[in-house]
Amino acid sequence: MIFTVAIDGPAAAGKGTIGRAVAERFGFAHLDTGLLYRAVGARALAGDDPAAAAADLTADDLARPDLRTAAVAEAASRAAALPAVRAALLDFQRRFARREGGAVLDGRDIGTVICPDAQVKLYVTASAEIRAARRHAELAATGIALAQVLDDVRARDARDAGRSDAPMRPADDALLLDTTDLSIDEAVARALAAVGQAMG
């Protein structure tokens, strides 16, 4: 069975948590496409050309322990704005989406560009303030100020939504899932219900 769930939305809205839960519940493979861009960003920080890094990513690149740092996230967002990087990663993502047994992909342009024919499309969002608070909690050990995290979230939103190639936006037929006032369990339950309904 080939069944694709596309989950899009801004940083720290809950895409990854929801994607993992959907994949686990239905036995689908899961791809956090942001990891691909983070791996490219990490290599770019180390001096590699982003397009070249995207063309030859390895499993080791995706397993790096530093992929969740703020510096890598910033580099990933910049790399994702480069058409050559996006093109290099496009085929990888589309092959993953069409794998036998079902697949869940989360990112910024899954429902609009990578998998426009996905059986289920979700756009997961939340207010910038709530997303910044969530990210700040993740980064608490770094001592970064909440105001700085909020500035970073807003800058990244503007960059992701404003890029000329595959800007972040909801697909026309996506189900909007605003997690601002939802618990994790409530958000996951709504996503599971949407996928279950589509599967019949």
Query: Is 11 annotated to bind ligand?
Result: yes
Query: Is 17 annotated to bind ligand?
Result: yes
Query: Is 179 annotated to bind ligand?
Result: no
The two tokens of residue 47 are 């001096």
Query: Is 88 annotated to bind ligand?
Result: no
Query: Is 107 annotated to bind ligand?
Result: no
Query: Is 79 annotated to bind ligand?
Result: no
What is d(CA 97, CA 117) in angstroms, rounded to the nearest whole number?
10
**Strands, E assignment, the chain:** 4-8, 29-32, 103-107, 120-125, 175-178
Q: In what order do the strands lie in the sheet with 29-32?
A: 29-32, 103-107, 4-8, 120-125, 175-178
Query: Is 9 annotated to bind ligand?
Result: yes
The two tokens of residue 31 are 């791809």
Smallest Cα–Cα separation from 132: which of 31, 8, 12? 12
The two tokens of residue 91 are 């085929």
Query: Is 15 annotated to bind ligand?
Result: yes
What is d(CA 124, CA 198) in angstroms, rounded to the nearest whole number?
18
Query: Is 10 annotated to bind ligand?
Result: yes
Smallest Cα–Cα separation from 185: which of 11, 62, 57, 14? 14
Alpha carbon distance, N-terminus to C-terminus of the chain: 14
Q: Which residues are annotated as a binding site?
A: 9-17
Q: Which residues are annotated as a binding site for ATP?
A: 9-17
